[in-house]
Amino acid sequence: MTNNVADHHPGNSVAEGNHEGDFGCSVVELRNLMELRSAEAVTRLNDSYGGVQNVCKRLKTSPVEGLSGNPTDLEKRRQVFGQNFIPPKKAKTFLQLVWEALQDVTLIILEIAAIISLGLSFYHPPGGDNELCGQSAGGVEDEGESQAGWIEGAAILFSVIIVVLVTAFNDWSKEKQFRGLQSRIEQEQKFTVIRKGQVIQIPVAEIVVGDIAQIKYGDLLPADGILIQGNDLKIDESSLTGESDQVKKSLDKDPMLLSGTHVMEGSGRMVVTAVGINSQTGIIFTLLGAGEGDEEKKVKKAKTQDGVALEIQPLKSQEGVENEEKEKKKVKVPKKEKSVLQGKLTRLAVQIGKAGLIMSAITVIILVLYFVIDTFGVQGRPWLAECTPIYIQYFVKFFIIGVTVLVVAVPEGLPLAVTISLAYSVKKMMKDNNLVRHLDACETMGNATAICSDKTGTLTMNRMTVVQAYVGDTHYRQIPDPEAILPKILDLIVNGVAINSAYTSKILPPEKEGGLPRQVGNKTECALLGFVLDLKQDYQAVRNEVPEEKLYKVYTFNSVRKSMSTVLKNGNGGFRMYSKGASEIILRKCTRILDKNGDPRVFKVKDRDEMVKKVIEPMACHGLRTICLAFRDFPADAEPDWDSENEILSDLTCIAVVGIEDPVRPEVPDAILKCQRAGITVRMVTGDNINTARAIATKCGILLPGEDFLCLEGKEFNRLIRNEKGEVEQEQLDKIWPKLRVLARSSPTDKHTLVKGIIDSTVGEQRQVVAVTGDGTNDGPALKKADVGFAMGIAGTDVAKEASDIILTDDNFTSIVKAVMWGRNVYDSISKFLQFQLTVNVVAVIVAFTGACITQDSPLKAVQMLWVNLIMDTFASLALATEPPSESLLLRKPYGRNKPLISRTMMKNILGHAVYQLTIIFTLLFAGEKFFDIDSGRNAPLHSPPTEHYTIVFNTFVMMQLFNEINARKIHGERNVFESIYRNPIFCTVVLGTFAAQIIIVEFGGKPFSCSGLTLSQWFWCIFIGVGELLWGQLICTVPTSHLKFLKEAGHGITKEEIPEEELPEDVDEIDHAEMELRRGQILWFRGLNRIQTQMDVVYTFQTGASSLQGALRRQPSIVSQHHDVKNVSSPTHVALSSVNSTPTTSAVAAAAASPPAGNQSGECVP
């Protein structure tokens, strides 16, 4: 077994000036090369190119030094091979958005009505002035007025245009913000390359063909390349092939590395051979038409979940591409289930819409019937042909009134309020170090009831330093003096640290004078390197002596091994291996230990136990991580079998044990206290030793003295929750998680099990909403499973960021608390808006309805209604959705999933204010003319000029809404509605702006708005009645809600009775419940088809040889995927399915379809 290192030719591109000559291979050749896999690729590489070194030569680059970084050279490479950039989907133009906004049904109805009304107003029938048509032709109007009949139609069209433009503009700015966000996420991604022999990080977009890139655990490869040198490299290619097994990469077996795949283990260097649209991912994007690029990304994300790849065929096949196209049409839905809020809002909007529709229909019917009975029945007039247009005009007018009632009843401002509120929050959350990748995550965070946090870097500073050491039988409580340690032990420590750590980890001088040295790379390794520097030794000299190429074999660190080992070949043909890792793991494998003379002595089990007691536990109880350094020599006679890891990693000699401190961030204990006050449980999940974890948890305030909380190790946790078969039992888990606060020595699978267990649990009255932080590649499943996944912006790997919903740009726990605050704020903003909006709706609908029934004409005209609708919907949603959050949000418990949007208090406010407004308006309507001493506006004929009377009604209505908007700022029944109103400039602007616009409309609106100017005293009365709203609001506050038992809440989430827990799709995209029923049938049907197809393929294969085996295998994953669906959409009552399928063979299928045993939680399904 040789190390995967290619020989290094001295031909160094930096020296060669020959950049004008063309490169030795074209884009097409490289592209064809990259399409090959494993053995095929190796053969082609060696035959056509003479190995990877020659590819480097042809690309004019040096495998060791990299490119020169000369701008002209880089530019030329970009021209020949393209940029590392996949063009994004074209944004929708403003006109497209306008067109989309016009698709709204109510608006279309209004437009049609307005056009008919316009047409009729221009049509003057010959016998129009016939006496016989009754008083419908209108009393005392002069000629000019009858010409103005078109104005109402035009005004309606005009207001429709305004509404459409406003909606389109909002969509457009949202889109723009989202693009900004995307590009920011893309710019943040950097990659390590070697240029001029220097290791530097450059943005992914600047990588060119010929760059030498360093790849390590956790990277998302940004371009295609060929491996030059690798240690234990394993790659997850499921995003391209749909195969979830990790692929081992080595020079002699499979050196091809593809963009978009994840490095799961190991490290290495590659030469970049294809970037941007020429890379494998890029080719797929182009096949799908880069236009759909964004959706494709989402589809891809939705498909690999729980570690099971749900892709049906490899994407390269044409069939696969068509499938993708179909998929894309289906999958245009948010990640996970619809967010809680969206679900509640959709239900509420539908309910209100139905009510509005019924009201408007009744209004129209009553108006028409009354008119017909009055004209033809009571007055007994005949229907004359020449009068038809006039009658039709009346009917159109009635129809328009009906539609306006509908328009006002439907709260189309709701989606707008949500969008504005979320977009505003997301923008502001950027300042609070939260980069939100999925809009709905922001609002889900406000419902969070549990946070599972990592320890390192989130709760602690992630600045590790060695503070204690146990070397040569002596326990040093601080860094020992180099003189105190024997030179041969010192030498072992320095080599063991310098060689057996990633060469990308290093310590650089501080940026500012007097600052701390900068730690680059893995922080634990940096701590050990710092220890070497503290011992006045130089690790760089050792690394220069033993460059990476000379390392014979590397077992890289991963979460299973929890250790790292590096093998070197000695001059005499023997081998030496250095190991480091978690002390309890390495010490178990040690059979000797160096004594104070530096000689190995036997290390028995009882010595080990004693050492754990005397050294390791005291260190851990101070919150230190303990790392053990060890080595082993292999004789020269026979080369060991490097693949049998257990034999290699045994019989070690312990050199030293060090204690590494990672101090708690000073602001964390306070943040955790806030969480606990806000009803959020914080749990710590860490890979560290249990004593270390306990010490840190106590410092943070996660564990409180005197409370009976659980601290478990991963092993113990699994023992408690799994049955004999090793499957997770939900009941067992339910006994543990409510008390569990610290899970130590946990693997990523434990983290996923815990998160899934808490989410699936039905113990409390609410389903838990769980947030999780993660930084490692293997945290992906847990991050995806959680309701909100936080990835670390600094320490996080690309894979973790890809799986997350929010990226913490400063890796700090306090930012999570800020996210909670913003999330709750979004929720409250929307409730405020609802409270305000529904009051308007209730009042406007009732006024229009009763007015129409009693006076044959709506007191609020169509155009006025549209104006009210515009201010009350669009502007109010702007004003109320942009309230900044306050700390007081963190003093209440989370709302939970099924708390209604409209609480009792809000219902009390809505109905209370509606009563006030209706009383005032009806008083004005029926007695206003006496009070103000003006002409009555009731029963005015068609096309009569606007009256002062109705103008006062309209104006008062708007004034009351304006002052009620201030009341709506508080939803929990607080008294002071003006509290910190100045902190929200948008609110003040909107209120004052609306007021100014109202003055203009009343005074100069004239015929289109059916307004006539008012005197000053009339204005004062209107405003005075409006201010009465504020006083009335105080009165409502004094009535205790608890006495009003009859009030109902509205806008519930989906309650448990309606759909059982198992039915919530696990990671499957949102499915409506009607659709679920369909899906259930479909799935069983598909599975049947699939079985048949697979069997036919198998039969066929036996007949024809192996040609179609491909097809059968290719379809296999789809069975898994269907199982997966079935599992998620399984019926809660297992009876239905099983009773249908009574035959023994299919009942097995049914049993699989009904939810699998609780243990089958990781998503592996047995086909």
Q: Annotated active-site positions, please?
A: 454
Backbone dihedral angles phi then psi of residue 427, each to the nearest 5 degrees: -65, -45
Cβ pair 1147, 1084 in contact under 8 A: no
Cβ pair 583, 745 in contact under 8 A: no
Residue with tokens 């590096």: 566
Cβ pair 234, 213 in contact under 8 A: no
Closest Cα partner for 259 from 269, 244, 274? Answer: 274
Angle, vertex CA 309, rays to CA 1141 and CA 318, nearest 5: 95
Three-state SS string over 45-97 comes to: HHHHHCHHHHHHHHCCCECCCEECCCHHHHHHHHHHHCCCCCCCCCCCCHHHH
Query: Which amino acid is residue 763, in one-letter code?
Result: V
Backbone dihedral angles phi then psi of residue 979, each to the nearest 5 degrees: -55, 125
**Directed axis angle between helix 388-409 and helix 862-869, to 10°?**
20
Measured distance CA(163)–CA(167) in Å, rounded: 6
CA torsion sign, 992 to 996 to 999 to 1005? negative
Write the CA distances from 375 to 927, 1007, 1009, integer angstroms.
27, 27, 28
Of all helices (H) and strands (E), which one includes residue 471? strand 465-471
Helix, strand and coil content of the chain, in percent to the nearest 5, comes to 55, 15, 30
Residue with tokens 């400063």: 810
Residue with tokens 């989430």: 1053
Cβ pair 491, 468 in contact under 8 A: no
Residue 158 structure tokens: 């005009």
- What residues have CB less than 8 Å from 1110, skipping those under 6 apart? none
Closest Cα partner for 918 from 1011, 846, 821? Answer: 846
Angle, vertex CA 437, rays to CA 433 and CA 440, nearest 5: 105
Residue with tokens 């995967």: 4
CA torsion sign, 76 to 80 to 83 to 84? negative
Q: Is 329 exposed, middle or buried (0-12, 13-18, 19+ CB in 10 A)?
A: exposed
Residue with tokens 């909380």: 709
Measured distance CA(570)–CA(574) in Å, rounded: 5
Size of the chain in residues: 1167
Measured distance CA(60)–CA(1079) in Å, rounded: 56
Measured distance CA(451)–CA(559) in Å, rounded: 22
Residue with tokens 């560290």: 688
SS3 816: helix
- Four-CA torsion 291, 294, 296, 302, nearest 10 degrees: -160
Closest Cα partner for 167 from 100, 106, 111? Answer: 100
Residue 275 structure tokens: 């970037």
Write the CA distances from 98 to 179, 291, 852, 863, integer angstroms.
19, 20, 33, 21
Closest Cα partner for 855 from 503, 458, 370? Answer: 370
Residue 628 structure tokens: 């053990």
Query: Which amino acid is residue 726, in one-letter code?
Result: G
